Chain A
Amino acid sequence: MSTLQYLMNGFSISFQPMNLLFCLIGCMLGTLIGVLPGVGAPTGVALLIPISFGMNPVSAIIMMAGIYYGCMYGGSTTSILLSVPGEPTSVVTCFDGYQMALQGRAGPALGISAFGSFIAGSLAIFGMAMIAPPLAAFALKFGPAELFTVMILGISIIAYVARFSIRRAVIVAAFGLIVSSVGQDLVSGERRFAFGVPELQDGIDMVPVVMGLYGISEILLNVERTLGGNIFKEKIKNLLPSLEDWKKSILPILRGTGIGFFCGIIPGAGPTISTFTSYGVEKKVSKSPEQFGRGAIEGVASPESANNAAGQAAFIPLMTLGIPTSATAAVLFGALMIHGVTPGPNLISKHPDLFWGLTTSMWVGNVMLIILNLPLIGMWVRVLKIPYVILVPNILLFCVVGAYCVKNTMIDVLIMLVFGIVGYLMDKFDYEPAPMVMTLILGPKLEESLRQALILSGGSFGIFVSSPIAVIALGLAGFFLFSPIFMKKRLAVGYSD
């Protein structure tokens, strides 16, 4: 079958009424999560996992993917209207989006953000359809050594872009590896770190851990926060950008799409990095860089396009290599595993319905988002007025129910609470949780690859430098981990170490 035939088959799956409904649910929930500061995409996806147990894998992943890219749309709303980023990917949009709102141009800012996201998402999905199958075929050549080194590369990039020091990110990543090893050893069958607790002998599930680290800890950090102080009161008009706005924005949208797509494919780089990079590029190439930070529409169009393109492109390494490129992608990885689907080189050949159904549903979701989100801007603004004291208990309730329903045991709820406190303390002591989520989910595969590689090589570490893929991956990992020591700063990230 040709790619076009696969796409047609994919559309026939994504246009099934139930899949359309679940796509809509995911997009709307994702937008809501993106709008609400304090509730992140990893928590949103993790919350839906227990709810998705009764669904077929295709519908489940369509819904959860809807949350992922829906968040990108939603996060920009609060960035533009309140200068409060709903998601980390919307931080850059605050710089010029809010200034545009203050100048009475909130409508064009929101409009160009939505249209730019749609264009970028559509192009990225097309890129995914073109690149993923040959990449998966290439990845079939990966042996345990290549798989191990590529995963190490992904972890090193996550550490490189961490908010705090790389050393602490590596500590947290190793901590995640330790947590992932609780339970039964996959090779020998021996129990590790269960300490006689029967519920721990099957290991620690990632759903309660993610809900704790991203949901409960966020609530503890913001327990007194109220929303609404500077709610935008003016009527938002002119959501359709003018011809002049389009003239200024089309090239930034296309550049942002390219940057975002590239960042999305690279394990660890992701949407957040793409927004900063694209903003920096636009400022450099602009004829009036002094306008950036004062309401330049290019400063909204490019990063919003970049983050959506990166969000869609992140599915390429996730589905073809089995490498999640962000905490949310890692949770999606876990969700697929729970539904009996192993992301990796064999996914496209073994589950073509899932891959092509998901790819086409992402385009359908983007259409839904652009049709619904602009007219519903007023509704999202009203959502922001809901006091946090009403939101918090309901978020907690769904976290508890979600954690409870994983295995119908209260141990998972207690695990969630423990990791909620851990996540809170980690934030207070300047440790970022994202590397931990990645290694928690990749841990079993990482360990399996390492042990298989060593068994194959008879104990020699030379196997990790015996193939070009492994050498390149290790070399890049070394660059990301050690270059800041010599360069005193991290490129394209803006942090020093």
Chain B
Amino acid sequence: MDRRLFLGGAAFMLLGVAVSVESYRLGLGSLHKPSTGFVPFIAGSVVALLSLADVLKGLSPGKRDIKSLASIWEGLYWKKAAAIIFLTSLYSLLISRTGFVVLTPFYVGCCMRVLGYRKWFKIGLTFVFSTLAFYLLVYFFELSIPPFPPS
């Protein structure tokens, strides 16, 4: 059994089936008047049917893992990746409450620490960088970013 092939195929197959079912519920219409669910149903069916081939290939008795499942995680320090995702999610949730100028230095600094950067002085320069970036983005490119915490 090729577990990598099986898992990838199974995930897409489940997605395809779910989309097809939901599209059917929305209504397919008819060939001369396709309705809301027509194209998503075709897309979901294509995903499900083609993924079924991967699932069956993965389950076939003669198939052995060409690349092991563990190799998915090889080279990835998953704790650092998870930390990056967590910090970025937190940053996006808090930016409208705390503002860009206040929060960004902490975000960039924390990411650098997570990734192993130890030079505190240079991490502190992120405050200068984030202020400069703010002025560039807001006054030159006219983006709408909350600068400071709302009063």
Contact = CB atoms under 8 A, between A and B. Distances in A.
* Chains A and B form a bound pair: yes
A62 to B, nearest CB: 15
A50 B37 CA distance: 31
Given A51-B137, A447-B39, A451-B38, A171 B12 contact: yes
A460 B31 CA distance: 7
A387 interface: yes
Contacts of B8: 429-431
A430 B31 CA distance: 35
Interface stretch (A108-116, A123-131, A323-331, A409-417): A409-417
Contacts of B115: 223, 388-389, 392-393
Interface string B105-135: 0011001100111000010001001100100
Nearest to B130: A397
B112 A397 contact: no
B88 interface: yes
A177 interface: yes
A413 B92 contact: yes
Interface residues of A, number: 63
A401 B7 contact: no
A220 B81 contact: yes
Nearest to A397: B108
A410 B88 contact: no
A54 B50 CA distance: 43
B102 interface: no
Contacts of A389: 112, 115-117
Contacts of B88: 216, 396, 400, 413, 417
Interface of B: 4, 7-8, 12, 15-16, 19, 22-23, 26, 30-40, 43-44, 46-47, 50-51, 53-54, 72, 75-77, 80-81, 84-85, 88-89, 91-93, 95-96, 100, 104, 107-108, 111-112, 115-117, 122, 126, 129-130, 133, 137, 141-145
10 contacts: A50-B143, A51-B143, A171-B12, A177-B39, A178-B47, A393-B112, A400-B88, A410-B95, A451-B38, A457-B32
Interface of A: 50-54, 167-168, 170-171, 174-175, 177-178, 181, 185, 187-188, 190, 192-193, 216, 219-221, 223-224, 387-390, 392-394, 396-397, 400-401, 403-405, 408, 410, 413-414, 417, 420-421, 424, 428-431, 446-447, 450-451, 454-455, 457-461
